[in-house]
């Protein structure tokens, strides 16, 4: 894989074995941005970003990307502090998924901390159906879909309730 074939690369970081943060490498703006939904863990964000910048340098050297190597010192490293923040210590995973989705379509965040359970349902349906849903402000329609799947199963998904599955 050549990371330079992409406009952005998203890198999840597991911090202290219990908290997820996200780094977005944007090759179009030459920035590395750290997203942390729970700022208490952000003290080492520069270290994570330096590791990523060093990786970019090593890949550029390996692939002989002279333009990247010549401008590596001009890259900006930032920490995003304006995006929605989690209100408890248990939501970093869902926030990471929402940050990644938002960044991947280059849109502003439209979620709030009040929406987390509905976003969990939306992500569950996306995983079960193996396809992304439309980005929508009104997530309430996912509740009915999720209830239907949990109660009745889904032949398309290959999952039926009250059956024992061997994994």
For position 30, what pLDDT does the model report? 94
What is residue 141's three-state secondary structure? helix
How much is the pTM? 0.79
**Secondary element (H or E) of residue 114:** none
The dihedral sign for the CA sequence 38, 39, 44, 48: positive
Per residue in 114-165, pLDDT (tens digit) is 888 888 888 888 888 888 777 665 566 666 666 666 566 655 555 555 554 4
Cα 29 to Cα 90: distance, rounded to the nearest angstrom: 32
Judged against a pLDDT cut of 50, whether residue 166 lies above it is answered with no
Which one of 6-10, 43-47, 85-89, 151-155 scores highest in mean pLDDT? 6-10
Cβ within 8 Å of residue 165, ≥6 positions away: 159
* Residues paired with residue 11 on neighbouring β-strands, in sequence order: 23
The domains located in the chain, with CATH, are 3-110 (3.40.395.10), 112-167 (no CATH)
CB 118 within 8 A of CB 137: no
For position 40, what pLDDT does the model report? 61
Per residue in 52-82, pLDDT (tens digit) is 999 999 999 999 999 999 999 999 999 888 8
Cβ within 8 Å of residue 88, ≥6 positions away: none
CB 23 within 8 A of CB 32: yes
């Amino acid at each position: 894989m050549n990371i330079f074939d992409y406009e952005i690369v998203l890198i999840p970081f597991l911090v202290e074995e219990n908290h997820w943060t996200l780094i977005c490498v944007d090759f179009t703006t030459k920035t590395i941005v750290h997203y942390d939904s729970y700022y208490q863990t952000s003290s080492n964000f520069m270290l994570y970003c330096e590791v990523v910048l060093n990786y970019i340098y090593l890949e550029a050297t390996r692939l002989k990307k002279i333009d990247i190597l010549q401008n590596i010192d001009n890259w900006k490293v930032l920490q995003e502090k304006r995006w929605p923040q989690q209100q408890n210590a248990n939501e970093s995973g869902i926030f990471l998924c929402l940050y990644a989705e938002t960044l991947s379509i280059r849109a502003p965040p439209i979620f709030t901390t009040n929406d987390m359970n509905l976003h969990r349902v939306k992500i569950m349906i996306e995983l079960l159906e193996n396809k992304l849903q439309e980005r929508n402000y009104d997530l309430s329609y996912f509740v009915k879909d999720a209830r239907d799947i949990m109660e009745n199963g889904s032949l398309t998904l290959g999952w039926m309730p009250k059956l024992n599955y061997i994994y």
